[in-house]
Structure 1
Amino acid sequence: MTYARFTVAHWCVLIAVLLPYACSYLAKFRDFGKPRVAGGYDNSDPRGWLARQAGWKARADAAQGNSFEALPFFIGAVIIAHQVGAPQTRLDILAVLFVTLRIIYIVMYVAGFPTARSAIWALAFLANLGIFLSGWH
């Protein structure tokens, strides 16, 4: 019996899945434990609380949404690349590049650098497109 092994690209999928949750934590962490009347995180109305945030907290929440939006294409691209027999080294390098760019994207988003953020987003999208097309013969 042959067992499939996890590749670097598979591990990158796991990391990419965790990134939106990191953004969510970032948006909320300083306000855990503070009373609601003092602006603390309101777990009974988390979406309403997030909607009232501004600045870097609002940007961290927006980065969370965008990180979730990026997942389907990335997961699909990795699966398809594996299915069609894409060169594993190329696939792994592009997956690491995608995750690295997404982390930089989140930093740029939270820090408030929209032009750099958009450029990094485009590069990550191109890396993802490269993953998708890497098995094309």
Structure 2
Amino acid sequence: MFVIIICMAAVLFMPMLAKVPLALMMHREGTYDNRHPRAQQNRLEGLGARAKAAHDNCFEAICFFAPTVLLVLALDAHTVYTAQLCIAFVLLRLLYLICYWCNWHVARSSVWVLAMGTIVAHFVSLLS
């Protein structure tokens, strides 16, 4: 269960990691507009725009991962397999960020599918 909880924390804090390149791209514009950061982020192009999209997608991933893991924990269905699925999800999401930042769009989409596959695998495991 410890590994699953650590993975949950990693996914919940991943948007902060994804914010680092976004903040750097915002600073490259000359200043970080703390009064209107979303307006500034929406003006970004290239790496800045990809960093914003990667950051936003981290929040979206929480919506899939957290309820799934909470269901596994609530049903006391955590096993070595579910822990491995959680680890795989976290590693794939980190790879997803790298793919987004590097503009490797085909790899990014493939990694996204694999990460979502871990979510599906949790439910298959729960239903069997």
Judging changes above 3 Å, is the alpha-carbon distance between structure 1 residues 72 and 30 closer, same or farther for their aligned structure 2 residues?
closer
* Structure 1 equivalent of residue 24 of structure 2: 29
Unmatched 5+ stretches in structure 2: none
Unmatched 5+ stretches in structure 1: 1-5
**Conserved 8 A contact 2:25-2:48:** no
> More deviation in 97-106 or 20-29?
20-29
**Conserved 8 A contact 1:31-1:40:** yes
**Conserved 8 A contact 2:85-2:122:** yes
Runs of 4+ in 1 over 6 A off after TM superposition: none
CA RMSD across the alignment: 1.7
**Conserved 8 A contact 1:60-1:109:** yes
TM-score by length of 2: 0.91
Larger % of helix: which?
2
* Structure 2 equivalent of residue 3 of structure 1: none
Query: Deviations 1:14-46 (Å, cap 9, x if unpaired)?
Result: 0001111111122113554x7xxx532111110
1:109 aligns with 2:100: yes
TM-score by length of 1: 0.85
Larger radius of gyration: 1
Identity %: 30
Q: What is the number of equivalent residue pairs in this alignment?
A: 128
